[in-house]
Structure 1
């Protein structure tokens, strides 16, 4: 008697889409991908979309294996007792396994006025709003970007290269995850392109046309872009599953939930052993593959492999003609070695293209993804923390 194994993948980003394709390594796995949008969002290009220098969506027809069913809807609850996923449309989907790949979103700022008057850059809808508002602004209107991480730098640089008047506000140092050499290169590029960088400056209030700092000074801002960190959707906690303080699902090293071995996490929303990887496209695809492999191992009755993933650097674009490629040890610690300029820009563009191409290749040939290993060193069993209520504080990664 043939048995069909029903797997629901919640979230159609880099991790979820790749996981859905990889699950098709077995013909007896019925894969349903639940995503709130009908198109794949290439998030690492959202800053380009805002500036009008690139597109940030890809048709799922070119991204998914023919055997993956796409359901355009939002998951609102996972009922682990009934093994159903409840959707916003009131539909319920039965499952044997769930891959939890809801990704990340912009952190809701606690700064007065920021939620009302600043626009985040973590979702397609907010990027669309930013692009519309930019089109309405006069060319010399002052724009403030809050957040000195890689996302803030990229959008500030993209807009500055297009002739916009930009101030980049960093709560601490500029690009704190990078080496001193990379930070100097970025600072010089921004200065040459007229970007005012304010380091170790805290925003105290955002108004319709002004940003007020903690020392009481104010700066005109016709548009304020908020890129100070990321948070995670609250689906796991709302479903009674344990999470870390940011809302990421607590898992063991096979990415399996500490509460239910039929729920496996991937991407930005996973916290293996309470020690999550840096939120990034670089980590998302391997985590998606690992999650799919864990589910396939459980179906086959074999022991899933432990997570083994190395992050060996990052790349930040500076407009269309320059970038910085930061090299790192396998544990994601920045080395004092970087490449800047046009060569790094070409590398960055290649990395962006590969993010989509790897998923497409997995659709054509499930199981094809390989990744750099040897970076994760976790000793001893995970100690499950008490259930945590997810906060909306900023994440340092991207």
Structure 2
């Protein structure tokens, strides 16, 4: 007769170590590690939260924080998905040394980047690279619950083969209505046709992917520069940033560790009640305007003609030389980094900060 294992009452707590049960390769340099509690107690957490692992690397323990990629609707196991960067110490140790049966100390789960704290009828999930992990957890939870689903799921990667969870998400999208997947890549894979979006995520893509983005609760995760670009794109389109959320956390490498939640950064965006002045050097005129006014509109008010086309930062027709001052510019590919370094701006998507002088 087989003896039945008795599972202790209550959920897993971080006074018990995590046992690695499998390591699954996802893409190049990306793996998913699956953990269980040795006691087989279930994991209770909110989709989007993270845990901190204590890694026994040479020279002392190293603390690394990872977002949980599994869903709380599947509580018997907990998975974290991670990418090894060129300078990764912790992730490289995991890939090279962690094996099924080994146990690690962990702290958590914790974190406020979760749809559980901001329930909404419509979501817009925007991620880049391994920032897809909390979106996978939140999407899987909605999928498993089987109820209403209205998610525009945007993920950006270098190549199609770098998109994590692509096949799994596409399978989910065939089984439930309302999961709209949008992939953006820098370049296609060799000898593989690509019919999705290509380039850097921008306002124009956003309008095509989710025309009703103003009605959606937005969750964003990725590199800091990527999240800043998304924030600026949304703010420039009049999005209510009270409905914008991004994953920000810090886990110091000291024993503990202490987890600190960071607020969404203040990007010093143009303000309507702050005035600026645009000076047109050749024309010999100037125009006062709020910071929220574009340079193009200020020029029209001053009677200075600037050729324009799309008025969306795409075509580059309104490219103008800036002689001095600062502008806040959110463009959609109509100007190169080299041109920006030379002092050029796109008048249609640049907001003056203080006193700005143009060559016109």
How does the TM-score come out when normalised to structure 2? 0.26
Give the number of the structure with larger relative contact order, counting CA–CA contacts within 8 Å between residues 6 or more apart: 1
Q: Per residue, is there more strand in 1 or in 2?
A: 2
Structure with the bigger percentage of helix: 1
Q: Which has the larger Rg? A: 2
**TM-score normalized with structure 1 length:** 0.24
